[in-house]
Amino acid sequence: MMINGSQIVLAGRFGRLSKDEAKRRLEALGAKVTASVTARTDLVFAGAKSGAKAGPAAVRGVPIYDEDALAAVLDGREPGTAPPSPPFTGVPGEPMDPGEALDLLKNADWSAFSPERDTVPLRDALQALERAHGVTDAHRLATARLREAGALLRHSDVHHGELNGHALSPDGRHLAVGSRTGDDYDRGGVLQVFEVATGRCVHAIDGIMGGIGFPGHARSLQWSADGTRIALEYNTNATGVWDPFGTAHEPLADAFFLASGRPLGMALAPEGRRAFVYGGGSDLLRNVVVAMHEGSVAGPPDARPEGTAPIEFSGPSPDEFEEIWNDEPMFVLGRAFWSRDGSRVYGEAADAYAAISLDVEKRQVAWILRLEEDPEAAAPEWSPDERLLACQRDGRLVITDALTGEPTAELPGYPGADVLCWAWRPPGGGGPGGRDRRDRRRDDRRAPVRPGRSGGRLRPARLGRPVVGLVAGRRAGRLRHRRGADRDLVAR
């Protein structure tokens, strides 16, 4: 983290050092510490009750770090790295009988136990001991010590109602699932986290008000890029952010704008401290960006303004709308997602048959792209690298530059396509001069197939160049467009 030359704000209360001491030490590292967040603020260190300063920083997209990160920086470490600690000597080795394992665990210095470093080795050693001798006093002692350290030991069957959503953490290590309330509404829903490598339940949070998600609604759980926060659509139409490994039933931050009977969609920003949600009073776009650092944010149409003021978006003039739609539409973005750098939000206004890009820093619509006016047409899809958008329009398959909204290629349309989906094709593969048909057939057998509603399929591609395909009905075709030496557009 670059501290020298950065403009830093200290927000809230810190437990391990005073603000004066933190300011003195940061300034000794070359930082400029200011009292309030401005357009020049580079980062914020936030302690408890920091919403008054951290909220405006979050909605601006200014990086926010906690007290642990501040302590790391002042110690000369990168945030997220643990301070040096002595090794934990309580992991039983093989072969070891139950008595020896018990003595080892009794004499171990449990203050040196590091969950990130020592949990898996200890678990593996105790599993080996259990296979040889069953559950022993060594297992009971280890369980007691872990409980004393705050570990939450849970059974995998914790849900009261049906599962309504899931999300894989960005690092692929954890799978989060969320459920509704079941028959007893007051018990709330459950957020449960599994370890992917072992399939074990590693955490669960009970009593989430109104349950998580809604039947038939996707993307109701979303992780931050670093895996330390998770956003949930809960209590039907509220959005909240939790620590996925914390114990609090209430969210760290929440947003509420409309008392509807269904979730209205949300998108969590990569850093996990902003969200794109339904709300605001704009006549152009009924979505806003809200701060989700801590505390509550609310506003029209169904709540009084509360918390940090959200970002609303301006857009093209009414005359520009009339050229395309004959009137001035009011957009509501669905299937919204953030760019990786947090500078843009992309989405589809399905009722208006439009794809939209929003510039968050400028607080305005970057571009609006008209789509096929057919409710059964395949939805637009952005490429995995966020550089291209594929959509159908006027009977054609159109490939658009996602940054500018300008078309870069057009292909023949594919009536009846159910889904557009992007994949990656390796350099030199799948095109003229690339692999032969036998290679492609082998790929088809190894790779998963994504079916369309009427039974067609897309043969996927491996990592490499971006490829767009159509999942269609009975008819199967193949379209190829060569644009330069590095790109294939393939539809099957």
For 439-471, the pLDDT digits (tens) are 333 333 333 333 333 333 333 333 344 555 555
The pLDDT assigned to 414 comes to: 78
Enter the tokens of residue 472: 């269609």
pLDDT tens figures, 259-280: 888 888 999 999 999 999 999 8
Pairwise CA distance, residues 192 & 204, whole Å = 4
pLDDT at 260: 83
| Strand intervals (E) in 266-395 | 266-268, 274-278, 287-291, 295-298, 334-338, 344-349, 354-359, 364-370, 381-382, 388-393
**What does the block give as tokens for 10?**
């200290």
Q: Which residues of the chain, if any, have pLDDT below 70?
A: 150-156, 317-329, 424-492
Q: What is the DSSP letter of 405?
A: -
Please tell me the predicted confidence (pLDDT) of residue 480. 39
User: E-assigned strands of 158-252?
Assistant: 163-168, 174-179, 189-195, 200-208, 221-223, 230-234, 238-242
Give me the half-sphere count of Cα atoms (radius 13 Å) on the Cβ side of residue 173.
Answer: 8
**In this structure, what DSSP letter does residue 314 have?**
B
**At which residue do the structure tokens 């849970």 appear?**
154
Q: What is the value of pTM for the model shown?
A: 0.76
Distance separating alpha carbons of residues 104 and 15, to the nearest angstrom? 35
| pLDDT in the model for residue 405 | 92
